[in-house]
A and B are shown apart, each in its own frame.
Chain A
Amino acid sequence: MDDKKKIIQLRKLKKYFPVNRKQNLKAVEDVSFTMYEGEKFGVVGESGCGKSTLGRVILQLYKQTSGSCVYYGKTINEINPKYIRKEIAKLKTYQENADKNFKKSLVIDAEIEKLETEHSQYDADGSPDDAKKAAALSKKIDKLKLKSKEFKKQASRELREGSRTVGSLILCRDIDKIMELFNKAEDEVALAHDAIVKKNEVKAKYLENAVVLEQIAETGAQLKEVEEAYKKNPTLELEASMRDIKALIEKNRNVDVEALKKVNEELAVKIKSLEDAENDHHEKEMALRDEAFTFRGKDILPLTERCLDPEYQKKLDGNYETGINLAKLTPEEMRYLRRDMQMIFQDPSASLDPRQSCGKAIEEVFEINTNLPAAVRKENAMDLLEKVGLKREHYYSYPHALSGGQKQRVGIARAIASEPSFVVLDEAVSALDVSVKAQILQLLDELSEEKKLTYFFITHDLGVAKHFCDRILVMYLGNICELAPSKELFRNRLHPYTESLLDSVPRLAIGEERKQVEVLEGEVPSAINPPKGCPFHTRCKKCMDICMVEKPKYVEAEPNHFVACHLYDKKEN
């Protein structure tokens, strides 16, 4: 899976909701996984397992408690987030802290050495008094060793944090110079951004004029067409559409076509020059970064023994983050990015405004995210309605006039209007009838292929998950139980919870084909006081002693098949 492009990576993501002063509801606990571009990623589990919370945390609708969620759909340079400057400013501190911690550990190491020589002296004698002293010393040595290890760990933690912004350059002695270069590169990014904003403004004006020119050329023929359709099949929608076209003709009656054409030619030249400026800034930025990276591997600070090891440097380079750390964005930046990350809700009627026509609901997306002229917005909205299998006339209908399936189609059209690359579907087909459900799933499947969408598909219907998703994540009480490709998960279920969950699904088989299965007893415990050790041990049939004490590690038990269960810990050892 390494050749696939990452789109979202979660690292030890946690989300706690405070219940009162002392207690937290642990909705999501230490979740780490990676989603790849174009993947349909399914999440299943019982209600209260944290699947919806996880979806919302990824979209930053809830702030995470700790951990990180990095988005790779856009690069930092495209968004130009403010936190990058702060990170650059912190580089020096990271380095200094690492240095300080490492030096402390060295002092302790020296002390350990001294004590060890003392210890060996006592060892030679055999008297009980000496033995006592030797024991005390070795205890002390162990304690110091632990302390030294802790300092070393802290040092490499600081280095790791720094390497997210600059890779292995964090080890260079010349960090001031590198910081300066990176800051300059950021300046260029900001300038390029300004050029883009200006370009979009001019482009909007240009498009507006172009639309008017087009309208003058085409509205007459359109009106005839709609009038004929109306004669055959008089509907309210067609009537509204007729009214609209007539109003346009009236509005454009006094436009000077020649002058408008001239204005647009000038605007086109301006757009071109702004585009050039943008490219220019980008080139400068790349040159500055390249210059900074020439320091790579040269004049390295000997912070730890490992620093000089090229393998370690490579590892730090691997930490270099091209993605965007969503939690560090300002609200405005997140709002800008949200067009890339959309959500489709379970109840389509609750997510549409009953007083707003469906077309307007979709058009609103363009109104907020782009500065397209009104006529283009409307045209786009109608195109989208057609794309999701509705008619263009549905632009004028209100949600109450549509069926559940149609409303969900409008919801989908609205979500894909901003051309997202990542969509969270929170039980998007659960409220629909079986026959319609399959229709919507087909539509989602087509869209994902056409637009390379990545889905985070939250569902409790395992049949749908199996046949719709590429990979499935099983969650229980905020923890990951199992993550595997969907077919593999059903063929080879490792976690006892997955087994019970899959067995509970009502099967279509009847008579002798029916498997007799054991019913999973009990209910999901409260997430405020989750059971100690493995969260599932209270209901697990294969519970062992260790399950009640220690939380199982999340391991790759088989290729691409991850599981968190003590049954599979042992195999690893």
Chain B
Amino acid sequence: MEEGKVLEIKNLHASFSIQKKDYEVLHDISFDVKRNETVCVVGESGCGKSVTTLCVMQLLPNNGKINSGSIILDGEDLTKMDKKEIVKVRGKKMGMIFQEPMTALNPLLTIGFQLRESLMLHRGVDKKKANEMAVEYLQKVGIANPESRLKQYPFQLSGGLRQRVLIAMVLSAQPSLLIADEPTTALDVTIQKQVLTLLNDLKKDMNAGIMFITHDLGVVAEIADRIVVLYAGRKVEEGTTEQIFRNPKHPYTIGLMNAVPNVDADEYEFAPIQGTFPNITEDIKGCRFNPRCTKCIGKCFEEAPETIEVEPGHLVACHLITKED
């Protein structure tokens, strides 16, 4: 394993079975997350970004399974672990922040109880010490009067504060990988800005990798070091933020960029990607994007494109892009 890599996903294939038939939802996904780096996974709903996180957390529902490939976290392959081993890793080495902070916290228990529980479990400290540490972590995520907040219940906190509490809870286990699944989608723009700034600040002293799932390209520009673009269960493009934003190669990435109304531009014509996102039960031959692509060539309908490295670190899967470019 290369130096500095926290998570390495290699050739991951996953499928869901619906009415006794298997449908592939992830096809040959590979990417990695390095220490002190934020990798954003971008795509429309149904593209497989949440399934990828579930695979990493080993939380797939009963009808889903990983067919092949490996997920290596800190040198250990998660796909080969049994349930007991996974429990020790989950929460400790990898923490997850969910989209809806209200459903992620237990409404019947105080913030303090829930924070202490995590600390006592993962850090092995006693209750008194856990309390002190809980205060410390709440301060770290920018919550004023942490002592009184510990005694409060989730309903007494606003959405932004709840999300901060969740971040504190995840951080308190000192994980090497932080997975954030659309953590700011349910928040207002001003609060979103606060949370993103917080995450950017924490990244420096956390010594962990962040895997950030989102569909908002504005958020991506704010937080990402590298970007992975998924479409219908396939990785269509990967590269650094600089590469993807300045020089997007795949027609889908270009379409996504154009579909977002730019707040700073004076003139803007709405430029949607025509057509609808394919259902997983649909069987599309060749490139999965071909029904919506405006630049299709004959080859696109016959075979799936291979992933090509156009620049160091910039990977694209499209027939239009050849190595010579």
| A interface residues, Cβ below 8 angstroms from B | 46-47, 403-406, 433-439, 441-442, 445, 460-464, 466-468, 487, 490, 500-511, 514, 519-521, 523
Contact = CB atoms under 8 A, between A and B. Distances in A.
B251 to A, nearest CB: 12
A435 B272 contact: yes
Contact of A438 (B45, B158, B272): B272
Contacts of B261: 438, 461, 463-464, 466-468
B222 A507 contact: yes
Contact of B270 (A47, A442, A504): A442
B31 interface: no
Contact of B190 (A490, A504, A509): A504
A493 to B, nearest CB: 12
Nearest to A403: B276
B259 A46 contact: no
Contacts of A500: 190
A308 B250 CA distance: 75
Contact of B260 (A46, A434, A460, A490): A434
B246 interface: yes
A512 to B, nearest CB: 11
A504 B256 contact: no
B77 interface: no
A506 B216 contact: yes
A507 B192 CA distance: 13
Nearest to A44: B189
Nearest to B292: A435
A506 B197 CA distance: 11
A427 to B, nearest CB: 12
Among B194, B256, B261: residue with most chain A CB under 10 A: B261
Interface in B254-280: 255-257, 259-264, 266, 268, 270-274, 276-277, 279
Contact of B241 (A46, A436, A439, A510): A510
B12 interface: no
A435 B221 contact: no
Contacts of B189: 46, 460, 462, 501, 504-506
A149 B125 CA distance: 74
B277 A507 contact: no
A441 B260 CA distance: 12
Nearest to A430: B185
A520 B222 contact: no
A466 B263 contact: yes
Contact of A442 (B215, B216, B272, B279): B272
Contacts of B160: 523
B191 A433 contact: no
A438 B271 contact: yes
Contacts of B196: 506
B193 interface: yes
A45 B161 CA distance: 19
B305 to A, nearest CB: 20
Contacts of B274: 439
A527 to B, nearest CB: 13
Contacts of B256: 434-435
A435 to B, nearest CB: 4
Nearest to B223: A506
B188 interface: yes
Nearest to B241: A510
A435 B293 CA distance: 13
A20 B276 CA distance: 48
6 contacts: A439-B274, A466-B263, A467-B268, A501-B190, A506-B222, A514-B221
**What 6 pairs across the A-B complex have the smallest Cβ distances?**
A506-B218, A438-B272, A435-B273, A463-B261, A439-B272, A504-B193
A433 B45 contact: yes
A295 B268 CA distance: 55
B192 A508 contact: no
Given A433-B277, A490-B263, A504-B192, 9 more contacts: A403-B279, A435-B44, A435-B259, A435-B273, A438-B270, A442-B272, A506-B196, A510-B242, A523-B158
